[in-house]
């Protein structure tokens, strides 16, 4: 979570630095980057007293990405950074970027990362839909969608039957990823809790680990079960050419 220090700089996870912690500075080449001032209610007052709040620009010291902070001051006309009261919010801020196995296909990896970006921007329904899509495409890439009518629920159950994922992971795939994603895609619009999307995020990553962390072992299980993963399709194409 972003924090502001006595110098007026902000420490936050930077999306431009792949989620690494970085310092966002409000001065660049000796000049302030700029700010605007609005009036807000003074903290801990019984009266309608007001103080300044600033929308202030910042710059990542690492990659140069810009940022916007909303900072409440202690009084009207307060000087920055001496009179900072608190940092209300800061954007953009990367959330946790989960590690993925190297063998995860590029398209699936990119879709997973896009879901993480949706979370960082507060578009939780979009993130839930992306993680459901990652699950669907992962199963399809491993030979679990043999016909158009085969549901995602069936594919999850078949992958557990083949021993690729555990019974516990099977349940989580249904409850945390598939059902939440279906709500977004098929039900009337409604807000979804951030913690539900976080759960989909984490279990989607774990399922990718199940399929791609020890890829050779998984391929043996898939072939023994009569599945035709994309890996084998590529081999056949290469042999023909």
Residues 168-198 pLDDT 10s: 999 999 999 999 999 988 888 899 999 999 9
Exposed/middle/buried for residue 23 (C-beta within 10 Å: 0-12, 13-18, 19+): middle
For the cut 80, the answer to whether the pLDDT of residue 234 exceeds it is no
Record: fold of 106-228: 1.20.120
* Residues carrying CATH 1.20.120, the chain: 106-228
**DSSP-derived secondary structure letter, 50:** E
| Distance of alpha carbon 86 from alpha carbon 35, whole angstroms | 16
For the cut 70, the answer to whether the pLDDT of residue 237 exceeds it is no
The pLDDT of 5-12, averaged and rounded, is: 97
Q: How confident is the model at residue 238 (pLDDT cuts 50, 70, 90)?
A: low
Q: Where are the alpha helices (DSSP H) in 91-193?
A: 106-120, 124-141, 152-161, 167-172, 179-186
The pTM of the full predicted model, rounded to 2 decimals, is: 0.74
| C-beta of residue 22 within 8 angstroms of C-beta of residue 11 | yes
Contacts for 75 with CB less than 8 Å, ≥ 6 apart: 42, 51, 52, 83
The pLDDT of 206-224, averaged and rounded, is: 97
């Amino acid at each position: 979570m972003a924090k502001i220090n006595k110098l007026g700089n902000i420490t936050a996870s930077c999306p431009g630095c792949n989620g690494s912690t970085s310092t966002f500075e409000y001065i660049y080449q000796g000049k302030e980057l700029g700010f605007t001032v609005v009036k807000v209610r003074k903290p801990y007052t019984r009266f309608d007293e007001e103080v300044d709040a600033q929308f202030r620009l910042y710059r990542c010291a690492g990659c140069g990405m810009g940022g916007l902070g909303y900072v409440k001051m202690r009084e009207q006309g307060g000087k920055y950074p001496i009179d900072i009261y608190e940092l209300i919010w800061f954007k953009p801020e990367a959330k946790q970027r989960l590690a993925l196995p190297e063998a995860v296909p590029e398209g699936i990896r990119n879709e997973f990362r896009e879901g993480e970006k949706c979370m960082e921007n507060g578009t939780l329904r979009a993130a839930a839909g992306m993680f459901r899509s990652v699950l669907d495409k992962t199963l399809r890439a491993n030979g679990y969608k043999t016909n158009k009518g085969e549901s995602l629920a069936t594919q999850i159950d078949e992958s557990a039957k083949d021993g690729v994922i555990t019974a516990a992971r099977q349940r989580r795939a249904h409850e945390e990823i598939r059902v939440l994603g279906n709500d977004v895609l098929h039900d009337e619009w409604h807000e979804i809790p951030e913690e539900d999307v976080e759960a989909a995020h984490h279990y989607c990553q774990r399922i990718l680990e199940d399929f791609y962390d020890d890829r050779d072992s998984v391929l043996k299980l898939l072939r023994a079960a009569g599945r035709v993963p994309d890996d084998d399709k590529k081999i056949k194409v290469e042999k023909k050419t």
